[in-house]
Amino acid sequence: MNGHRRFLMTGIKRGFENKVTYYETKRNCSEIVNGKTHILFLHFGLPRTEFYAKDFLKKSAAIYYQIPKKIEKFLPSGLIVNEKVRTCIEKYGESCRIDELLNSFADRVRICLNTLVPEFKSITCSYAFLFDEPSIEQEILEVARSGCDHIVAAPLYAHFSCAYSGFLLNEIERVLNFYTVPAIVDGKEVHYKRILPNSSNSFHVSALHRWNSHPVVSERSYNSKEYRRSVWSACERVMNGLNDRLLWRLGFYNAWDQWDLPVRESIEVQTKRLAAELPVKSQIAIVPITSLFPDFNTLSVIPSITQLTGKSLVIQPERDNTVLLQGVVEVIKNHLLGRRNVQLRGRCHWCTNKHCKQMRIMFDDS
């Protein structure tokens, strides 16, 4: 019994120590950095051919299902590309490339921010991909060596999840920990203030992570309830803006890079339920609430799911949506002016990624 009690007390103590790590420096607002600021938009990227898709899917499957590196090489890449992926690539070839779209988006955000908050001197924007070029490592090093005072990492996914936004921020943390060192303030390491060795460059780093096709399968083991609440809240705010005049339901699906497994509250089920409540000639609008830009899911996966119903219409994300632009600019502006994001302080259940804890410490001032 004594040994069991000691084990429990040690576990409880460790839990409180972890909690203190995330909450002891909590402040009402973030530190405002008035200087040269760079916004770095992060995205996984989209493969252009079946050849790139095999490598992309192999790596992304290892991320979603937390497959160890030693086992990752045994994934059967030759069997990964199926008919669903081939159709996605075909549809993607008929639309605008993701790099062209993000280049235009980043430039428009830059113009708006320099108009709204001129006190931050010159605000620049760029984008980087996890599985494509420019890579996150390449872009973050280029920005760090340019003499920037503040780097804001912004994953381009609508809701935070460990398998998407979290992993992109983990990559930022890995690169910064490898190439830079934390500043020392009052004898303590301040991880969100980074110094580039053998140079005079130092900068503040923060994350803007509250903006992913729904990873319902991969998130089932850790934080799925929190993710669902986040998406549900977004739907409620959208419908409230329409004065709650329309019936709505939240449906989920397997994304293009996920296995076709059974999904609770799927789009098919929710569409049938809505159709039963509507007049005969009514149409159902399918809105990809978690997609900020056109992607494989909005171009191919969701239309293929809904085409059998005959009463559904998929509302594609617009390429140059002024409302989205204004909203993103407003969120970035508030972040630069010190508004805090506390969502990163929650911990993932059953997460085995060793970078997660360090990432949360590094972005503690976000």
Domains of the chain: 37-213+322-362 (3.40.50.1400), 218-314 (no CATH)
For residues 278-307, give the mean pLDDT: 86
- Identify the pLDDT of residue 347: 53
How would you class 176 by CB atoms within 10 Å of its CB: exposed for 0-12, middle for 13-18, buried for 19 or more?
buried
Q: What is the pLDDT of residues 227-283, one digit of tens each?
A: 777 777 778 887 887 788 888 888 888 888 777 778 888 888 888 888 888 887 788
Rounded CA separation 183/37 (Å): 18
Q: Which is higher by pLDDT, 226 or 206?
A: 206
Who has greater pLDDT, 11 or 32? 32
Q: Which residue from 325, 117, 348 is spatially nearest to 221, judged by alpha carbons?
A: 348
d(CA 208, CA 152): 7
Whole-model pTM above 0.75? yes
Residue 320 in this model has a pLDDT that exceeds 70: yes
Half-sphere CA count of 33, side-chain side, radius 13 A: 21
Alpha-carbon gap, residue 207 to 25, rounded angstroms:
16
pLDDT tens digits for range 41-96: 999 999 888 888 878 888 887 777 777 777 777 766 555 667 888 888 888 888 88
Whether the CB-CB separation of 345 and 319 falls below 8 Å is answered with no
